[in-house]
Amino acid sequence: MDVQRKLAILADAAKYDASCASSGTEKRDSSDGKGMGSTAPGMGICHSYAPDGRCISLLKVLLTNACNYDCLYCVNRASSNVPRARFTIDEVVKLTLDFYRRNYIEGLFLSSGIIRSPDYTMEQVVSVARTLREAYHFRGYIHLKTIPEADDALIAEAGKYADRLSINIEMPQETSLQQFAPDKDVRAIRRTMGRLRLKLDEAEENRATKTKAKPQRFAPAGQSTQMIVGADAASDHTILHTSSNLYGSYKLRRVYYSAFSPIPDASRALPLVQPPLLREHRLYQADWLMRFYGFDVGEIVDDSAMLPLDIDPKLAWALRHRDRFPLDVNRASREELLRVPGFGTKAVERIIATRRTTTIRLSDLARLHVPKHKALPFIVLSDHRPSPHRLDAAGLIERFKPKATQLGFGF
C-alpha cells in the first residue's frame, strides 16, 4: 500500500477527534541553525480550514487503525469493516517534515489504535516523537494521545517530547462507557489523567523555582480530553458536571465536545442521525461560561436538564435572573459585567478601561464591539434605561429567538 493510500485511511480514522489546537506551549524556534520548526506564541496557527469549519493545524493521523478494542461509537472498532493500514515510524516522520517544510501544518497530532498491549502501542507513538525531536531536531508542535494504563516511564518520555498529551474520557458518564466501550475503563482513564497532572505540576514547580539547571520537560501545553455528545442519553447537566470535575481535578486545558457523527459502517446500536451540531455549540458556550465568566455548572443548567438550543446559555441565565438587571455599565463590577448578555471578556476589559476616563453612552456600544440588540434590555447607560415593563415582560425572550425560518440551521 502506498503512503498516500495509507494517509487517506489513517486521516479518515483520526478525524473524529475534535482537538487540533497548536496553542499554549513554550516558545521555541530553530534559529540556532539546528533542525527546523518553531511554535507560535499564544494562540497557535490554523493553516487551513476544511468545509466542516474545523481548523487544520496539525497533521492528525493514527499510527494504525487496527484496534483490539470494540468501542461502538468508533470508526476503528475491531468489528468494523473499514480498510486497515499501518504507518511505519519513518513514514509518519517523513510526512510530518515534508508537510511542515511547505508550511501546511504546525506539527503532528498522533494517536493509534490499541495493538498488542497499551505499552507496545504507547512505545510506538513515543518512538515517532522521539525520532522527530532527537534525529531531526524538529521544533514544531507535537500532540500525542496517551494510552491509559501505559507504563509511567513511557508517559514521562511522551511528556518530554510532546507539547500536549490527551486521553479521551469518551463518554460523559461511566455507565455509557461500559455500554459502548466495554474494553475501556473510566477508572484507568482517570488514574492516568491524575498521573499526568502530578507530572505537569512537578514540571511547573521546577520551572518556577529553577532548582535544577535543566528541569525535566513535561508537556508544556498541558493535557486535554474529548467527550462524545449525543451517542448516549446523558443530559447537558451531566456533561457539564463531568467537564467541571475534569477541569478541577486534572487541570485540563480543554475539554472538547464532539457531536456524535455518522461514520462509515456504523454500529447498529447507535443513533445514525445528523450530528447535534447546535447542541455541541451550546456546550462550548457553557464551557466558556464556566472557565472565563465565573459561572458554576448549577447556575448554567439545572439538574438533569438540557441547555436551550434557541438562545445562548448566558442569555438564558439572564432571563431567569431578571431581578439582577438592568445593570449600570458605568458602575457595575467586572464580575457583574461578565454576566451581561452580549458582553465578552474583551469588551468588559475595554469598558472598564474606558469608564475610568469617560462615561459610556448608547452610541459607544458599537465601538466596544457589543451587540446592541442583545445587551440593551439588560443595561443602563448614561443616556439609556430600558423600560422596567420590558425587562419583566414574558415576551422578552421572543426578541432573541432566531426567526422560525432559520431554525434547523444557518450553519
Residues 77 to 136 in contact with other proteins, rule: CB under 8 A? 78-81, 95, 98-99, 101-104, 116-117
Q: Which is nearer to other proteins, 59 or 286 (CB)?
A: 59
Q: Which is nearer to other proteins, 150 or 266 (CB)?
A: 266
Considering the complex, what minimum distance in angstroms separates the CB of residue 377 from other proteins?
21
> Which position has the grid cell 447542541?
279
Considering the complex, what minimum distance in angstroms separates the CB of residue 101 from other proteins?
7
Of 357, 394, 395, 403, the one binding other proteins by CB under 8 A? 357
Touching other proteins, residues 8-37 (CB under 8 A): 8-9, 11-12, 14-16, 29-37
Q: Which of 351, 380, 386 is nearest to 368 (CA)?
A: 351
Considering the complex, what minimum distance in angstroms separates the CB of residue 389 from other proteins?
29
**Cell triple for 20:** 487540533
Q: Which is nearer to other proteins, 32 or 323 (CB)?
A: 32
Report d(CA 145, CA 361) in Å as an integer. Answer: 50
Q: Which is nearer to other proteins, 9 or 319 (CB)?
A: 9
Q: Is 152 in the site for other proteins (CB under 8 A)?
A: no
Neighbours of 312 (CB within 10 A): 20
Q: Is 53 in the site for other proteins (CB under 8 A)?
A: yes
Report d(CA 92, CA 108) in Å as an integer. Answer: 9
Neighbours of 121 (CB within 10 A): 23
Q: Binders of other proteins: how many residues, by CB under 8 A?
A: 96
Considering the complex, what minimum distance in angstroms separates the CB of residue 186 from other proteins?
10
Let me know: does 165 contact 146? Beta carbons within 8 Å: yes
Let me know: does 394 contact 335? Beta carbons within 8 Å: no
Touching other proteins, residues 193-252 (CB under 8 A): 193-195, 197-198, 244-245, 247-251
Torsion sign over Cα 224, 230, 231, 233: positive
Q: Which is nearer to other proteins, 53 or 395 (CB)?
A: 53
Report d(CA 251, CA 245) in Å as an integer. Answer: 10
Q: What's the CA dihedral at 404, 407, 410, 411 to 10 degrees?
A: 170
Contacts of 190 (CB under 8 A, 6+ apart): 169, 249, 250
Report d(CA 241, CA 245) in Å as an integer. Answer: 6
Q: Which is nearer to other proteins, 169 or 319 (CB)?
A: 169
Q: Which of 206, 195, 188, 191 is nearest to 158 (CA)?
A: 195
Q: Which is nearer to other proteins, 90 or 265 (CB)?
A: 265
Q: Which is nearer to other proteins, 14 or 162 (CB)?
A: 14
What distance lies between CA 395 and its chain's CA centroid?
A: 35
Burial classification of residue 386, based on how many CB atoms lie within 10 Å of its CB (0-12 exposed, 13-18 middle, 19 or more buried): middle
Q: Is 305 in the site for other proteins (CB under 8 A)?
A: no
Considering the complex, what minimum distance in angstroms separates the CB of residue 262 from other proteins?
4
- x/- contact string, 160-199, with other proteins (CB under 8 A)? --------------x------------x--xx-xxx-xx-
Considering the complex, what minimum distance in angstroms separates the CB of residue 395 from other proteins?
30
> Which position has the grid cell 492516568?
192
Considering the complex, what minimum distance in angstroms separates the CB of residue 251 from other proteins?
5
Burial classification of residue 181, based on how many CB atoms lie within 10 Å of its CB (0-12 exposed, 13-18 middle, 19 or more buried): buried
Q: Which is nearer to other proteins, 43 or 399 (CB)?
A: 43
Touching other proteins, residues 252-291 (CB under 8 A): 259, 261-268, 272-275, 277, 290-291
